[in-house]
Structure 1
C-alpha cells in the first residue's frame, strides 16, 4: 500500500496520511480484516513522527473505517471501502463549500434536500 505525503503542503501531515489511506481503502487495496502497517513502520517509511500516524489512524477509527486494538494494530473494517469513498467525497465537498463561501448550515440544507 502506497502512502504519500507532501511536507510542503499546508495540510497537516496526519490529515495527508489519513487521506492517502482513505483513498487506498476506497480502492479496496486492503480488504476488510486486513491489517494496516504498524504505526512505527509507516512513520519510519514516511520519515515522520509515530504520533502523526497514530493520529491519522485515530481519525480513520473515528470515521468507522478501521479498528484499533492493542497488540493487534489497525484492522480494516467491513464496508470500509464504501465509507472511505464517502468520507473522501465529503472532504472534497466541505473544501469546495468553504471556497465558495457556503456555510455549514446552508451546506447541510443542500444535502438534506438532495438526500430526500
Structure 2
C-alpha cells in the first residue's frame, strides 16, 4: 500500500492521507483484515507529523473503515468490501454515462442531485 499526498494542494494533509487509504479500499487494494502501516512509519515516509497521520486514520475510524486498537494498529474493517462494491457500481455508471454521451460534469450533477433526494 502506498499512501500519497500532494503538498502543493490546499487539501489538509490528514484528509489526503484518509483519501488515499479510502481510494485503495475502493479499488480493492485493501481488504478487510489488512493492517495499515504504523502511523510513525507513514509519518517518517511522508515527512509529516505523526499526529497528522493519526488524524487521517481517526477520520477513517469514525467512518467505520478502520478499527484502531492499541497494540494492534489500524485494521481495515468489512466496510472496505462495501466500498469496493460501490466503486464497481460507480465505474459501471460512469461507463453507461459515457456510452450515452453524458459529460462527466453532467453525471456529477446527476449524482449530487440524487444524493440530496433522501
State the TM-score, normalizing by the size of structure 1: 0.72
2:116 to 94, 110, 113: 110
Q: Indicate conservation of the 8 Å contact 1:43/1:53, yes or no.
A: yes
Q: What is the deviation of 1:2?
A: 1.3
Q: Which has the larger radius of gyration?
A: 2
Cα distance per residue 1:82-110 (max 9 Å; x no partner): 23786xx8xxxxxx9xxx9xxxxxx6983
Query: Does 2:3 match 1:3?
Result: yes
Corresponding residue number in structure 1 for 2:18: 18
Q: Indicate conservation of the 8 Å contact 1:33/1:77, yes or no.
A: yes
Distance 1:63 1:84, change over 3 A: farther
Corresponding residue number in structure 1 for 2:98: none
- State the distance in 2 between where 1:13 and 1:59 align: 12
Q: Indicate conservation of the 8 Å contact 2:35/2:75, yes or no.
A: yes
- State the distance in 1 between where 2:115 and 2:32 align: 33
Structure 1 residue runs without a partner (length 5+): 90-95, 101-106
Corresponding residue number in structure 1 for 2:101: none
Corresponding residue number in structure 2 for 1:33: 33
Root mean square deviation of aligned Cα: 2.5
Structure 2 residue runs without a partner (length 5+): 91-104
1:33 match: secondary structure: coil
